[in-house]
A and B are shown apart, each in its own frame.
Chain A
Amino acid sequence: MSVLIVATEDDVHTRAVVEALETRGGQVAVADLSRFPQQADLSLHFTCCGQRDLSLSVGEEPLDLADIGSIWWRRPQQPLVDPAIHRETHRMFAANEMQEALSGLWHALDVFWINDPARDHVAHRKVGQLRVAHEVSLRIPDTLITNNPDRARSFIDARGYTQVIYKAFSALPEEWRETRLLRPEELALLDNVRYAPVIFQEYVEAVYDLRITVVGEHVFAAAIHSQETSYPVDFRMDMANARVEAVELPEDVCDKLLALMARMGLVYGAIDMRLRPDGEYVFLEINPAGQFLFIEQETGQPIAAAIAETLLAHDREGSPELTTTRARPERTADDLAGRR
């Protein structure tokens, strides 16, 4: 059996997990989807009578997908349309055909996923995260997402602008914007909310930020001492100067986070929270494909190893192609949560 990692080849997180898998005697292949279709082959052969031959060649060796027991869906790239195709419609068509074949393939595989692509897609939506977080009784910040300037104004007026942060759903490499506290000169620009919705949020006072990396049943909590850096509002801004240390989470917070993971169908998640001076833990967001090495290197928490072990454990349970007579265990995150 083998583990497949769908990622770019030079991703350092991928390298760390590959190493951890190989140390443990696992077979691993990395598929870089951006090599499709020019430098990689995909053939999915279904015969009339139940035979299947699903193969993917990512290196010299074609990979028999029947042999894959688990997959790490690690920030996959989009297939690359050959620049030889010029017409926009033809390019779109080619991209779509690749997309269809690939996503069809993922759905056709009965394997263990970290994380299932469809769940990953849904879990990325920040709005949905708030709802689920609330439903599992996590405290969330008072949040308004709006493109209505008047709604934004009354949200801000109700708290005072010094107590409101704003942030964006997406970050453009060219126009990166960190999470910010509102400033008086920005109040004059509020009409521009009209053009695209903005996330306004109650500012959560912090003792420190928390990055909690969950892998299956393992919960690795780390405190990021953002309040000691030059930008206490957003720890990403001055990460090099932020002290990071492993911490223990209260059991009830831990349980709620695992419930959140289960509800979202995720095996892996990197969760951002804040600990308030009054001792309350406030959930900010979850990154279904969040980075973890910056935590692992500072705290020594064995996150890559946990990912590798989780992948291997499920890989060795065997593939249904070979063990059709054996009842296949339910290997979903709900199940993981249920076994706790």
Chain B
Amino acid sequence: MPTKQKDDEPTTPTTRTCATDRVHERLLRECPGYAERRALSEDQAWRADRTGGAAGRTGCTTIPVVVHVVHRTNAENISDAQVASQIEILTADFRKQNADVSTLPGAFAGLSGDARVTFELASTDPDGNPTDGITRTRTSVNGFTDDDAVKSAGSGGADAWPADQFLNVWVCRLAGGLLGYAQFPGGPAATDGVVITHTSCGNTGTAAPPFNLGRTATHEVGHWLNLRHIWGDDGTGCNGTDFVDDTPNQGGANVGKPAFPHVSCDNGPNGDLFMNYMDYVDDDTMVMFTNGQVTRMQATLDGMRSSIGTSGPCDGGGTIKFVDDPIVTLKFNDDPGSLKFRDDPSTLKFRDDPGSLKFRDDPVTLKFSDDPGTLKFRDDPITLKFRDDPGSLKFSDDPVKHPVLDKPPPQDVVKPPVADLPIPGPGPVVQPAPFVLSTGHHSRAWEGSYEGAYQQTIAHYQAQLQEHEQMLNDYAAAEQAGQLTEQERGEADQLYAEYEQLSAELAQLQEG
């Protein structure tokens, strides 16, 4: 460690520090309405998770970015090239196009997901004028902190561009070894965005190891899209959660370059998912988001951040290339025998096994003239599974023909929350139910008229309660034996809540 550092030398922390949680706590204390909007955001994420991540936005979302370079020294006034390298890295990481994703241990390879978000420097400023998406501000501040001073011209920084249209990224010198911080969705627009220290920006210029691969911004933008730290922000405890199911429960933050596996919180044999962008490891050690994190980010784009960016086909040209593994397996609920693509009259026929389709010549390229993320098949939901990507694509039904059900296609049913609706309350924490069903039985008036039905209902309640008790005992036994997973604990809690509700209803029914 250098004993003394001159102000204009790059500060290069040795371990990652992110102040997002401090900012979060400050906003909870000081910002009216923030807590409510956070609750809403969690509610939306939770619902998205429950519906299997059926997103309103299909394909990829492109987010316009403005980078505010706030500098005191010439070194801090980083080059356009350094900014550009950061944007490229963000896009690669959020599209799972980073080459180092291949370093994932086999045990975790199945978890990594394509977040379907791309970034580009804004080409039009808030006034509608052309821009290169970079603002440059000279400051006399010798190192900013997490107090948001960098986000305002009045305190030596640069004002935010409208946060409902742009992702604001401030690049400045952060003091005290701080690498960056972000604001979760739901905070004030004037301070919305992420801040990174200039020595962690991109992979060229002043970028300094071990944070010279642009992952500080990846991590902070993860927060900006509502991701929490992977260890659950509970110190080294095992009770915190990042609200993502497919990230293993993890003790505390990992730093540096841990060796696989790093076991904590009974999460063996594979241990912590320390290679995740939301841990604290070095840039060259974090390589992935999980599918569950993707669902959470997409829920944010459907919800609190629905006004930002434009969505369209992934990969521009709409071409999916199967390079690594030429074998894809198509699973059909029924047996169509042949597969027709809407925009392409060519028909694929299945040779021998109607359940799976093998492309003999590799590499195979499927071309779709429309959005490849949502293929439309004439038939009901099909899942197309790619071997090298465990994420499965969900297909919507042809909205024109569905005579049996005659109801709106799924994309109409699952609408993203619209920004101009009044913000709904956070909803009940446990087991949301329609209003009518969530209001317990309160009358046994019909007992006199329908004695048999009354007895039957009581018996039905008692049987249900008994069943619940049995299951709760099983969970309790599993907990005693230390075999209860985080998910099972959640299920047990839910079950207990149901149990209480049923007991209350039964009591009401018996009291009359």
Contact = CB atoms under 8 A, between A and B. Distances in A.
A92 B402 CA distance: 11
Contact of A231 (B427, B436, B439, B445): B445
CB-CB nearest 7 A-B residue pairs:
A231-B445, A89-B334, A240-B449, A196-B434, A191-B425, A192-B435, A237-B445
B2 interface: no
B379 A89 contact: yes
Contacts of A229: 445
Nearest to B450: A240
B106 interface: no
Given A89-B334, A189-B438, A237-B449, 11 more contacts: A89-B333, A92-B380, A99-B404, A149-B425, A166-B435, A178-B446, A180-B439, A189-B428, A198-B434, A230-B448, A237-B443
A195 B434 contact: yes
Contacts of B425: 149, 191, 194
Interface of B: 333-335, 379-380, 403-404, 422, 424-428, 432-439, 442-443, 445-446, 448-450
Nearest to B433: A192
Given A92-B404, A239-B449, A175 B334 contact: no
A125 to B, nearest CB: 14
Contacts of A183: 442
Nearest to A232: B445
Contact of A194 (B404, B427, B445): B427
A191 B424 contact: yes
A53 interface: no
Given A89-B379, A177-B437, A192-B433, A149 B445 contact: no
A92 to B, nearest CB: 5
A241 interface: yes
A242 B482 CA distance: 58
Given A87-B334, A198-B435, A192 B428 contact: yes
A211 to B, nearest CB: 16
Name, among B379, B424, B439, the residue most crowded by chain A CB atoms within 10 Å (CB to CB): B439
A238 B404 contact: no
A231 B446 CA distance: 8
A189 B435 contact: yes
Nearest to B422: A150
A237 B446 contact: yes
A29 interface: no
B331 to A, nearest CB: 13
A108 to B, nearest CB: 18
A140 B122 CA distance: 56
Contacts of A198: 434-436
A177 B334 contact: no
Contact of A196 (B403, B436, B439): B436
A150 B424 CA distance: 8
20 contacts: A88-B333, A148-B422, A149-B425, A150-B422, A166-B435, A177-B439, A180-B439, A186-B439, A189-B435, A189-B439, A191-B426, A193-B435, A195-B432, A195-B435, A196-B434, A237-B443, A238-B448, A238-B449, A240-B448, A241-B448
Contact of B436 (A92, A168, A191): A168
B122 to A, nearest CB: 36
Interface in A238-252: 238-241
A192 B438 contact: yes
Contacts of A192: 427-428, 432-435, 438
A86 to B, nearest CB: 11
Interface of A: 87-90, 92, 95-96, 99-100, 148-150, 166-168, 175, 177-178, 180, 183, 186, 189-196, 198, 229-231, 236-241
Contacts of B379: 89
B39 to A, nearest CB: 11
A150 B422 CA distance: 8
B443 A195 contact: no
A168 B437 CA distance: 9
A235 to B, nearest CB: 10
Contacts of A149: 424-425
B432 to A, nearest CB: 6
A231 B442 CA distance: 11
A238 B445 contact: yes
B449 A241 contact: yes
Contacts of B434: 192, 195-196, 198
Contacts of B333: 87-89
B461 to A, nearest CB: 11
Nearest to A178: B443
A190 B446 CA distance: 26
A177 B445 CA distance: 12
Contact of A90 (B334, B435, B438): B334
Nearest to B403: A96
A191 B433 CA distance: 10
Contacts of B448: 230, 238, 240-241
A197 to B, nearest CB: 9
A115 B445 CA distance: 34
Contacts of B380: 89, 92
A196 B435 contact: yes
A175 to B, nearest CB: 6
A148 B417 CA distance: 13
Contacts of A175: 437
Contacts of B436: 166-168, 177, 196, 198
Contacts of B427: 191-192, 194
Nearest to B336: A89
Name, among A96, A192, A198, the residue most crowded by chain B CB atoms within 10 Å (CB to CB): A192
A177 B403 CA distance: 31
Contacts of A87: 333-335
Contacts of B443: 178, 180, 231, 237
A65 to B, nearest CB: 24
A190 B433 CA distance: 11
A229 B424 CA distance: 39
